[in-house]
Structure 1
Amino acid sequence: MMSYSDSKINLNLSGVVAVAFFLMLPLSNAVQIFGQASAAQPAQGKTGYFLQSGTDILTSTGSGSVTTARIFFVNGYRFTPNTSVGVGLGFTPYDDPLSLIPFFFDFNYRFKEDGISPFLFVRAGYNFSVKNDESFLLDDHKGGLLLHPGIGLEFPLSGQFDLYLNAGYSIDNSSYEFESWGNRIVTNDLSFRRLSIGAGFKITP
């Protein structure tokens, strides 16, 4: 049987940690802004950098699956009051031998420049895989593509602090290999397709 490749996992995780550091750089400023948010007045037509944090609840699809939650952070830039693009990183603990670390681009379009506004979003990228069940013997595993389109509603609470609610459809792919009878290698391709509901906040430094 092939041995489990720890070096491959370490390489993947090293890249993820580096990206996480990049995404969290504005966090110290974000905390200070959050403390001052209640004193500020809503801004009109905001542009510039923002930090986004959120949680998506990925609903169960039936027998054999459980509802799980994805947490994520996005470091983005609002090019116009309506359009923004960001880079995100998160964690999805599926009830399976693998958990996933999504690294993605976030595209967002607001229908109104200011005030309460509906919006559309698309998150697309790649899931890094992490083994979370040590009792399950694997020869190898890898992540796969992710796609998460949806709609939402954004509520500006101040010139620098917004809350939002969203709903969408999440597709996460990954796979793993294990040895079966007769030294036969079996590949199991996973595709998690879940309806999602979520909430979070955006802070503009």
Structure 2
Amino acid sequence: MIRLIAPAIALLLSLSCIAQEKQRQLITLNDGSRLSGIIVSDSLDILKVNILDNQTLSINKPDVLAIKPFENTVQTLSKTKGYFIHFTASVLAGENDLGNAYDMSFHLSNGYQLTNGLRLGIGSGIERLGIPVIPLYADIHYHPLNSRISPFVYLKSGYGLALLDNETQNNYYYEPITDSKGGFLFNTGVGIAMYTWQKAAVTVGIGYRFQKVTTFRRNDWWGGSSTTEYETTFQRIELQLGFVFR
């Protein structure tokens, strides 16, 4: 399982590195003027600062009063455009043949927020719906309000990869599972995003989760065995808590 999860997470983390910016500095001069930029060279007497993409400014170090990290005072709102990373942890509540079922789901998605309220991305994660499932999906959010606290609707659609582990191979309905395959996944719901920090938000939501999984179980009897194919449809209520980083 780990060998399948690791490439998916590594892909998402590598995409997130694209959005990272180099650290900008706020430079205050002796005359009170200030400028911001990226320090590209710091010698004994000269400080070279990249203030634009193709413009580098040389400053005499004796003229520099103070240097500190540049802080963007602009508050990120729900429709502020830009790259995002969204991590969610969910409880999936429903029923199975044994009664009530409560499963955990962890998702990580990333993409781009548009100024019209649409947020488009891709994601993956790990879930347990009777057997372990790795979801691969397209992720769409819509924020109707441009504010620090905004409701949203979300839709995820894609494919869930079904995996096997020792527990499902040996204990599931007392019949060994010899193989499994995933199926179509669908997830939709509503929530609220709260930008309590400058570039980060807490999200809470409630939704509906649908997943198809096919398993192949071996039936042993005196003198032989056979394999039976079972298609299972999981339908769950999702209670979600997440964090958005911009």
TM-score range, shorter chain: 0.7 to 0.9
Q: 1:184 to 1:82 in 2, by over 3 A?
A: same
Please name the residue that 2:52 is paired with: none
Match of 1:21 in 2: 10
From the two aligned structures, give the one with the greater helix fraction.
1
In structure 1, the partner of 2:112 is 77
Farther-moved stretch of structure 1 (190-199 vs 179-188): 179-188
Aligned match of 1:122:
155
> Between the two proteins, what is the percent identity of the paired residues?
21
Q: 1:82 to 1:150 in 2, by over 3 A?
A: same
Q: Which amino acid aligns with 1:93?
A: R
Match of 1:5 in 2: none
Question: Any idea what the Cα deviations from partners look like across 1:44-100, whole Å, max 9, x if unmatched?
Answer: 541111111011111132643421110110011112250111111111123x3x211
**Matched residue, 2:188:** 149
TM-score, normalised to structure 1's length?
Answer: 0.80
Match of 1:101 in 2: 134
TM-score by length of 2: 0.67
Paired residue for 1:195? Answer: 237
Aligned partner of 1:196: which letter?
E
Which of 42-51 and 55-64 deviates more? Answer: 55-64
Which protein shows a greater Rg?
A: 2
Q: Which runs of 4+ in 1 moved over 6 A?
A: none
Which has a greater percent of strand?
A: 2
Q: 2:148·2:196 contact (CA, 8 Å) conserved in 1?
A: no
Structure 1 distance, partners of 2:72, 2:83, is 20
SS in 2 for 1:20: helix
Check if 1:60 corresponds to 2:94.
yes
- In structure 1, the gaps of 5 or more residues are 1-8
SS in 2 for 1:52: strand
Which consecutive residues of structure 2, in runs of 5 or more, have no partner in the other structure? 24-68
* Separation (CA, whole Å) in 1 of partners of 2:73 and 2:210: 38
2:85 alignment partner, one of 51, 66, 71: 51
The corresponding residue for 2:123 is 88
AA at the equivalent of 1:179: R
Change (3 A) 1:41 1:157: farther
Q: Distance in 2 between matches of 1:93 and 1:83?
A: 29
Aligned to 1:140: 179
